[in-house]
Amino acid sequence: MRIGLVTPWFGRDLLGGAERLAVDLADRLAERGHDVTVLTTCAPSWSAPWNRNVLAPGISRDRAIRVARFRVDHTNTGAFREINRAILATPHDACTAGLRVADEATEAAYVQHNINSTALLAELARNAADYDRILFLPYLYGTTLRGWHIPRTRSAIVPCLHDEPYAYLEPVAAMMRAAPLLLFNSVGEYELARRLYGPSIDRRAVVTGSAVDAPRTVTSRSPILGFVPETTPYVLFLGKNRDQKGLSLLLDAYQRFRALDPDSTLQLVIAGEGTEREQSPSVIALGRVSDDDKARLLASARALAQPSANESYSRVLVEAWSYGRPTVAHGDCLATALPMRETGAGWLATGVAEWQRVLHEIARADDAELSARGERAAAWIAQHASWSRVIDRFESALIDRSPSDSTGKRPVVHALGHAQYGDALTKAALRFDAALRERGRVSVVTARERDPRLGGLVRDTLDVAPDAVRIAYATGGLPPDLTGSDILVTAEAQLAQLMQAAHRARAVLALNEPTQRAFASAGIPATVLPPAFDDVAWNIAPDQAMLRALQGANLVLYAGTVDSSSGLLEIFETFENYLTFDFDARLAMVGPIVDPDYAEKLHRAIESVQLEHRVFLPGVVSTPALAAFYRSARIFVCNRSWLDTGEALVDALAFDLPVCATSNEYTQSLMRGCGVLVHPAPRIELAALWKVLISDPEVRATVIAGQRRRVAELSASASLDVLEAALGDA
C-alpha cells in the first residue's frame, strides 16, 4: 500500500504523544513493506513559532520513510493566541456534547490562523490519487482541519482526541461526521468521540490502539541533575508542563500529603519539557530528560502519576506498566481510566483529596505490593500495546472496503401510498433507498401523496423507470396497485385485504416478528426485515437552539407516533410520580400526531395538573431537532401496545439511552433481552425505576452495555442484505 501521513511536525527528537505516534506509525508501516510518505511542514516543533520556516522544504529520506516538507503559511500568531485563549477559557462544565463552544467567526479564525501550509494542501490536491490512504493526525491543527477532505474517500483521521474545548468546535465535529475512516488509539478515546459526535461514527470507527517500545535496560547509576533514582522512593510525573496536563493538581495533592505526613520519605519527581520551571518545595524537577534517564526513572519509581484528564492514549502510563510499575490516573479521563479499571494495575483519583489519599497509600505500601499491582497490566500490554497487533489492526482498517458491484441490476422503486414527514414507514423507505444507492443501485422513492417537507426525496408515482422492481410499502391500508412482481413491505397483518394482496406479491417482508408470524399462520411465507440504526440520517449536527434549551434538567423521552396505542397517558401519569424524585425533570413526547383526539386528551391531562411547561408535545420535528432530544435525554420510555418498524427504539439504543419499555411480543422480539422491559405496575414503582435507570451509574452502565451489543446486531448492512436477497438478481 502507498500510505501518506500528514502531520504538522515530524522528527525523531520530538516528545509529544502525537509526534511520537507519527514517527512510530511511519516506521512500523514501512517495516511491513508499505511505501510511506510523511507530508509535514518546515516548522520544527510545537514549541517553535508556527509561521516560521526553520527546516528546509523538499523531499528527504529518513530510514525507510520519504519525508516531504512544505513551507508554512504566514499566519497571524497574535490573533491565533487571542482566539486560542478564548477557546481554552471555556470551562469544562460549559462543554456539552453537540454544542459549539465558539461562534462561527471564531471557529473560522481558529482554523485560518492555525499552523497551515497551502503548499502541502496543493500537493494533496495534485497527488492524493497516488496514495491508497492518507492518514491525518492529530485532529486539532490546520494541516488536518483543512486537508482531510482533499483526498476524500482515501483520507483516514487518527484524531488523538482529548476532552478539551477544541473537540467541541464545529470544524472538528464536521470532520468527524464526514471523514470516511476514524482510527482511535484507545477504547476511551473512541467512547469520547462517540459521546461528542454521536453513534453515527460507529461504522467508520476502528480502535487500532497504540503501543510502546519494549523496556530498555540501563546500567548507569550516575545522578540525573543530582538525583539518583535507584536510591530514593518517589512518585514520577513524566510529561509536558502544560495547563491541560494536570501537573498543578498533582503538585497540590503532594503538598497536602507532605503537610499531613512531613516525615515521609516519598518524593515527587517531575520530568519533561517545562517541568524545570516548577519550584515547589520537596519536588525534584528535572526538566527534559534523555531516553536512558527516562527508562531509569520509570524502572525505579514506586508509581507513575498521570494526572491529565486530556489524553487519547497515555503513552507514559503504558510505558510504566511495561516496566512493571503501578500507575495513578485521572478518573475523568476515559482513555486512561478504562484500561486502569480493566487491569487494576494502579489507582484512579479525581479530586485533589483522592490524589492525596492515593499518595498516602503509595507511601505506605511495601515494594512487593506495588510490583504485584504493576504486573497486573502484563496481559493487557500483550493484547493491546504490542506494535505487531496495532499495525495488524491498522492494515486491516486501511484496506479499502469498496461497495459491492451493482452495475447491470434493475432500478428499484420504493412505492408509498402517502409519504409523510416523520412517519416510520416513509423513513424506512428513504433509508433503504439511500443504502441501495450507496451500494451502486439506481433507486427512487415515489408516493401518490407526499408531504411538501420531504422536498425532492420523494417523487411522483408516474416518474418511474418502466423496468424498475417495485417495493410496495403498506400501512393502514392496501399498498398502491400491488402486482405479482412487487415486493410487499409491511408492519401489519390484521387487514384481511392486505392478507389477500400479500398472496399476489412476489415476496413479503415483515418489519417485525409478530407481523411475520401472523403472515406465516395465514400460510404466507414472510421474511423479517430487521430494523437498523440509520447512521447516515443521524450523521448530522443537532439543532443548537433546541440542544441548548434542553440542558439543565433530566429529560425523559418518548419518540414515535402519538395515537391511542402509544400509551402516553400512562407515561405522563408515571412522569407525574417521577417528579417526586426529580423535581426539575422534563418529559418530551415527540412524533407525528396521528390521532388528534388522543393528543387533545393528553393535552387536557397535562393542563389539569399545570405541567405544560414541563412536558413537550411538539408533534413531528426536524431530524436535527430530534437529534437534540436524543442527545439530551437520560432515558427512553415506551408504552406502545405494538410497534411498526421499531426504529425509535433502535435509535434510543444507539444513542445510549437506557430503554424502559412495556413488555409485549413487539418489544421482546426487538430488544432480545436488552434494556428494561416492564409489566403493568403501580406508577410510583415505574417512576422509581426510571429514577434508578437515570441516576444509578452501575445499573446504567450494565443496561447500556447490553443495548450496545443489540444495536451492533441491528446493522444497516444486515437489514439491506435481507432486502437485496428479496430483490434477487433483479
Nearest to 23 by CA among 13, 34, 12: 12
Binding range to other proteins, per CB under 8 A, among 35-43, 104-112, 282-290, 609-617: 609-617
User: Could you check whether the bond before residue 138 is cis, i.e. omega within 30 degrees of 0?
Assistant: yes
Binding range to other proteins, per CB under 8 A, among 73-81, 325-333, 378-386, 605-613: 605-613
Q: Measured from the CB of residue 580, what is the shortest distance to other proteins in angstroms?
A: 5
Q: Is 611 in the site for other proteins (CB under 8 A)?
A: yes
Q: Measured from the CB of residue 216, what is the shortest distance to other proteins in angstroms?
A: 44
Q: Measured from the CB of residue 556, what is the shortest distance to other proteins in angstroms?
A: 14
Q: Would you say 326 or 531 has its CB closer to other proteins?
A: 531
d(CA 651, CA 202): 13
Cα angle at 391 between 390 and 393, to 5 degrees?
Answer: 65
DSSP state of 287: E
Q: Would you say 410 or 708 has its CB closer to other proteins?
A: 708
Residue type, position 539, single letter: N
d(CA 277, CA 250): 15
Q: Is 694 in the site for other proteins (CB under 8 A)?
A: no
Q: Is 676 in the site for other proteins (CB under 8 A)?
A: yes
Q: Would you say 47 or 702 has its CB closer to other proteins?
A: 702
Q: Is 668 in the site for other proteins (CB under 8 A)?
A: yes
Structure-block grid coordinates of residue 642: 405494538
State residue 269 phi and psi, 5-degree precision.
-110, 125
Q: Measured from the CB of residue 665, what is the shortest distance to other proteins in angstroms?
A: 12
Give the position of cell 543530582: 226
Q: Measured from the CB of residue 613, what is the shortest distance to other proteins in angstroms?
A: 7
CB 472 within 8 A of CB 505: yes
Helix (H, G, I), strand (E, B) or coil at 364: helix
- How is 163-226 classified by DSSP, letter by letter? SSGGGGSHHHHHHHHH-S-EEESSHHHHHHHHHHH-GGGGGGEEE-----PPPPP------BTT
Q: With CB under 8 A, what is the number of residues at the site for other proteins?
A: 40
Near other proteins by CB under 8 A: residue from 291, 369, 600, 685: 685
Restricted to residues 254-313, the positions that interact with other proteins (CB under 8 A) are none
Q: Is 553 in the site for other proteins (CB under 8 A)?
A: no
d(CA 568, CA 570): 5
Give the position of cell 425523559: 556
Q: Would you say 30 or 661 has its CB closer to other proteins?
A: 661
Residue type, position 680, single letter: P
Cα angle at 579 between 574 and 585, to 5 degrees?
Answer: 105
Q: Is 663 in the site for other proteins (CB under 8 A)?
A: yes
Restricted to residues 621-640, the positions that interact with other proteins (CB under 8 A) are none
Binding range to other proteins, per CB under 8 A, among 78-86, 215-223, 352-360, 677-685: 677-685
Q: Is 594 in the site for other proteins (CB under 8 A)?
A: no
User: Could you check whether the bond before residue 452 is cis, i.e. omega within 30 degrees of 0?
Assistant: no
Structure-block grid coordinates of residue 351: 479530586
d(CA 650, CA 623): 15
Q: Would you say 442 or 677 has its CB closer to other proteins?
A: 677
Q: Is 614 in the site for other proteins (CB under 8 A)?
A: yes
Q: Is 700 in the site for other proteins (CB under 8 A)?
A: no
Near other proteins by CB under 8 A: residue from 213, 460, 665, 696: 696
Give the position of cell 508542563: 241
Near other proteins by CB under 8 A: residue from 609, 712, 718, 725: 609
Q: Is 583 in the site for other proteins (CB under 8 A)?
A: yes
Q: Would you say 419 or 643 has its CB closer to other proteins?
A: 643
In the beta sheet, which residues pair with residue 557?
Answer: 588, 636
Q: Would you say 21 or 676 has its CB closer to other proteins?
A: 676
Q: Is 88 in the site for other proteins (CB under 8 A)?
A: no
Q: Would you say 369 or 612 has its CB closer to other proteins?
A: 612
Helix (H, G, I), strand (E, B) or coil at 69: strand
Q: Is 699 in the site for other proteins (CB under 8 A)?
A: yes
Burial 540-563 (b: 16+ CB within 10 A, else e): ebbbeebbbebeeebbbbbbbbbb
Near other proteins by CB under 8 A: residue from 576, 644, 651, 656: 576
Binding range to other proteins, per CB under 8 A, among 59-67, 116-124, 229-237, 668-676: 668-676
Q: Is 674 in the site for other proteins (CB under 8 A)?
A: yes
Nearest to 580 by CA among 689, 684, 700: 684
Near other proteins by CB under 8 A: residue from 705, 712, 718, 725: 705
Structure-block grid coordinates of residue 390: 496495532
Q: Measured from the CB of residue 23, what is the shortest distance to other proteins in angstroms?
A: 42
Q: Would you say 508 or 703 has its CB closer to other proteins?
A: 703
Give the position of cell 485533589: 352
Near other proteins by CB under 8 A: residue from 154, 414, 450, 691: 691
CB 141 within 8 A of CB 10: no
Q: Is 681 in the site for other proteins (CB under 8 A)?
A: yes
Q: HSE-up of 574 (CA within 13 Å, CB side)? A: 27
Q: Is 581 in the site for other proteins (CB under 8 A)?
A: yes
Helix (H, G, I), strand (E, B) or coil at 306: strand
Binding range to other proteins, per CB under 8 A, among 308-316, 438-446, 472-480, 697-705: 697-705
Q: Is 689 in the site for other proteins (CB under 8 A)?
A: yes
Q: HSE-up of 79 (CA within 13 Å, CB side)? A: 15
Q: Is 577 in the site for other proteins (CB under 8 A)?
A: yes
Binding site for other proteins (CB under 8 A): 576-577, 579-581, 583, 608-614, 663, 668, 671, 673-686, 688-689, 691-692, 696, 699, 702-703, 705-706
